[in-house]
């Protein structure tokens, strides 16, 4: 049973707070059915060197429908793929470029107006 509390309408609209503690872990039969297949596809993709040959979530969804006859939404497949990639540590890693320059190597200037007085 879900218990909802609604606040009085305000300038930001109706604020709704629902206690979903008992609904958070509902069974997902489709997810449990496709997870082993998606895991196998991602494991095979791990061995592929070129990114162009790896499966996207949309391609995995197409394969599930065409090859396995599983009826599920593409959104469900996207969620499963994202969860498994995170679990298998296949998700893209954060990358940054250190921006340290020596004195006089790089100059940055924002637009402004300057009045220059030059000596004759």
Q: Give 12-58 pLDDT, tens digit per residue.
A: 444 444 444 444 566 777 888 899 999 999 999 988 888 788 899 99
Residues 30, 76 contacting (CB under 8 angstroms) = yes
Bin 92: left if φ > 0, else alpha if -120 < ψ < 50, else beta.
Answer: beta
Q: Are 90 and 46 in contact (CB under 8 A)?
A: yes
In the predicted structure, residue 73 carries a pLDDT above the cut 90: yes
Q: Which two tokens stand for residue 17?
A: 């707070």
Tell me the pLDDT of the chain averaged across its residues: 78
Q: What percent of the chain has pLDDT over 90?
A: 33
pLDDT for 97-108, tens place per residue?
Answer: 778 888 888 777
pTM of the predicted model, to two decimals? 0.54
């Amino acid at each position: 049973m879900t218990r909802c509390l609604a606040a009085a309408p305000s300038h930001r609209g109706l604020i709704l707070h629902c206690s979903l503690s008992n609904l958070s872990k509902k069974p997902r039969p489709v997810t449990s059915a496709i997870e082993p297949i998606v895991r196998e596809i991602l494991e095979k993709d791990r061995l592929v060197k070129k990114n162009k040959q790896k499966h996207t979530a949309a391609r995995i969804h197409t394969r599930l429908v065409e090859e396995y006859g599983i009826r599920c939404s593409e959104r469900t497949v996207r969620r499963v793929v994202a969860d498994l990639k995170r679990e298998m540590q296949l998700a893209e890693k954060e990358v940054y470029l250190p921006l340290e320059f020596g004195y006089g190597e790089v100059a940055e200037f924002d637009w402004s107006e300057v009045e220059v007085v030059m000596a004759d």
